[in-house]
Amino acid sequence: MKFEYKIDFNWRRNVSETFTINREETFQSPTAIYQGPADMTSKHTNLKWVLVHTGNDIAYGLAYVAGDLLRREHKILWIDGEDDVEKNVKKIKKFSPAYICYGPLSTEFLQALKLAKAIKKVLPLVNNVFGGHHVKAIPEELKNEEAIDYLVWGPVYGSIDKIIESPPNELIEGAPTLPANMQPALRDYYKQIPRMGFRERKYIMSHFGCVYNCSFCCTQVTRKAFGAKVYKEFWLNRRPIENMIEEAKLFLEFDTKEVSFEDDDVLYGTHKGADGTEWLEEFKEAWKKEIDLPMYANVTPQTVVRSTDKALRVLAELADTV
């Protein structure tokens, strides 16, 4: 099936001698949008960025944005988007950031937009940057929101310098990077958003894709835009176990009672002939030795019936609830 994705890169831009670009891109699946992995080098450092937590779940995606910002030596501050708007505006004003990043789910979008509008009234020069799955799903609709300065489509990687170098009202494209380069920065998040730091159930993921392709899900948009081959290489590749254990050590400092292994299907790649069983066994050994918190894992009937017996035994030893 042919997939077309049209993006006007210059919405609301005043065309002048300074800004003369006026082009429209048409992306066609499977790989037209993919121009190689993200450039992980940094041209800019030491700018201030606010990250806005929304909702009642761990802002796991934004924690990776925080990780990339800190790796690039920027300064960050987390605020809780559910707090009183005036209180947040005061906090942001005191920190005086150049950029404020939001990654709301669709259900949290209006709350995030309310804060973005309130901030614009007090700090008109601050730049509101929206990313995440809601932006990925409907970028065209969001272009008309006056309070949004930048929309980031796709992964954060490769997008930070582009945001800094682009004039406002720009749609910025991120690019994938291998999971070994991706690490969330959760310590500041848990400290500055205490209701998340002391949340009894924390999240962890070994990769960031889903093996399925439900038509209503953002997975389908990503897979179509980048192509199945690229999706498999970057989104379905598992993280190094040592990076996951390093991340999980924080759970022991922040009053965690159980951990949700949030991969959409933990048994992905554990059928005969694939390498997922070995990965799962190695992860289980490291988890039991270093962390040993009760674990909750997602699987699907399709993988349960195809998994090796060994993978099922290992999963039973790893997870208390499946």
Euclidean distance between CA atoms 18 and 223, whole angstroms: 36
Q: Exactly one of 1, 21, 125, 214 binds ligand SF4 (CB under 6 A); which one?
A: 214
Euclidean distance between CA atoms 117 and 126, whole angstroms: 11
Euclidean distance between CA atoms 152 and 162, whole angstroms: 10
Q: How many residues bind to ligand SF4 according to rule CB under 6 A?
A: 7
CB of 219 to ligand SF4, least distance (A): 4
Euclidean distance between CA atoms 29 and 119, whole angstroms: 38
Name the segment binding ligand SF4 (CB under 6 A); options: 73-81, 87-95, 105-113, 213-221. 213-221
Q: Does 296 bind ligand SF4 (CB under 6 A)?
A: no
Q: In a 10 Å sphere around its CB, with 0-12 CB exposed, 13-18 middle and 19+ buried, how is residue 35 labelled?
A: exposed
Neighbours of 95 (CB within 10 A): 15
Tell whether omega for the bond before 30 is within 30 degrees of 0, i.e. cis.
yes
Name the segment binding ligand SF4 (CB under 6 A); options: 106-114, 122-130, 170-178, 214-222. 214-222
Kindly tell me which of 74 and 238 has the beta carbon lying closer to ligand SF4. Answer: 238
Kindly tell me which of 203 and 251 has the beta carbon lying closer to ligand SF4. Answer: 203
Q: Exactly one of 219, 260, 303, 307 binds ligand SF4 (CB under 6 A); which one?
A: 219
Euclidean distance between CA atoms 154 and 16, whole angstroms: 29
Segment 61-90, which members bind ligand SF4 (CB under 6 A)? none
Q: Does 210 bind ligand SF4 (CB under 6 A)?
A: yes
Q: Does 60 bind ligand SF4 (CB under 6 A)?
A: no
Q: Does 212 bind ligand SF4 (CB under 6 A)?
A: yes
CB of 48 to ligand SF4, least distance (A): 34
Name the segment binding ligand SF4 (CB under 6 A); options: 20-28, 207-215, 229-237, 303-311. 207-215
Residue 96 in tokens: 């005086």
Kindly tell me which of 11 and 212 has the beta carbon lying closer to ligand SF4. Answer: 212
Residue type, 216: F
Residue 280 in tokens: 């799962």
CB of 268 to ligand SF4, least distance (A): 10
Euclidean distance between CA atoms 76 and 63, whole angstroms: 11
CB 159 within 8 A of CB 43: no
Segment 246-265, which members bind ligand SF4 (CB under 6 A)? 264
Number of helices followed by number of strands (H, E) in the chain: 14, 11
Q: Exactly one of 56, 213, 302, 321 binds ligand SF4 (CB under 6 A); which one?
A: 213
Q: Does 161 bind ligand SF4 (CB under 6 A)?
A: no
Half-sphere exposure at residue 268, Cβ-oriented, CA atoms within 13 angstroms: 21
Binding site for ligand SF4 (CB under 6 A): 210, 212-214, 217, 219, 264
